[in-house]
Amino acid sequence: MCNLLEVSRSGYYDWVGRPSSQREIKHNRILKEIKRIHKKHPVWGVDPIWAEVKEIIPCSRNTVYSIMKKNGIKSKRKTKWKATTNSNHNLAVAPNLLEQNFDIKVPNTVWVGDITYHWTKEGWLYTAIVKDLCTKDVVGYAMSDRMTKELVIKAMEMALKREKPSLGLIFHSDRGSQYCSNDFKDLLKVNHISQSMSRKGNPYDNACAENFFSCLKCECTNFYSFRTREAAKQAIFEYIEVYYNRQRRHAALGWITPAAYNKMWYWNLAG
Same domain, yes or no: 115 and 43: no
> The domain containing residue 42 runs over which residues?
2-70
Burial (CB count <10 Å: 0-12, 13-18, 19+), residue 184: buried
Same domain for 52 and 183, yes or no, is: no
Render pLDDT for 27-56 as a digit per residue (tens, 0 to 9). Answer: 999 999 999 988 888 878 888 899 889 989
Does residue 167 have a pLDDT over 80? Answer: yes
- pTM over 0.85? The answer is no
Where a domain ends, among 19, 40, 70?
A: 70
How many structural domains compose the chain? 2
Confidence at residue 39, expressed as pLDDT on a 0 to 100 scale: 84
Last residue within a domain, chosen from 19, 53, 70:
70
In a domain, 88, yes or no: no
Question: Mean pLDDT, to the nearest integer, of 18-23?
Answer: 74
What is the CATH classification number for the domain harbouring 200? 3.30.420.10
Q: Residue 156 pLDDT > 90, yes or no?
A: yes
**Structural domain contains residue 86:** no
Looking at residue 81, its pLDDT comes to: 44
Which residue did the predictor score with more confidence, 11 or 131? 131
Counting residues of the chain whose pLDDT is more than 90, the rounded percentage is 57
pLDDT digits (tens, 9 = 90+) for 226-255: 999 999 999 999 999 999 999 999 989 999
**How confident is the model over 56-65, as a mean pLDDT?**
91
Is residue 160 in some structural domain? yes
State residue 12's pLDDT score.
59
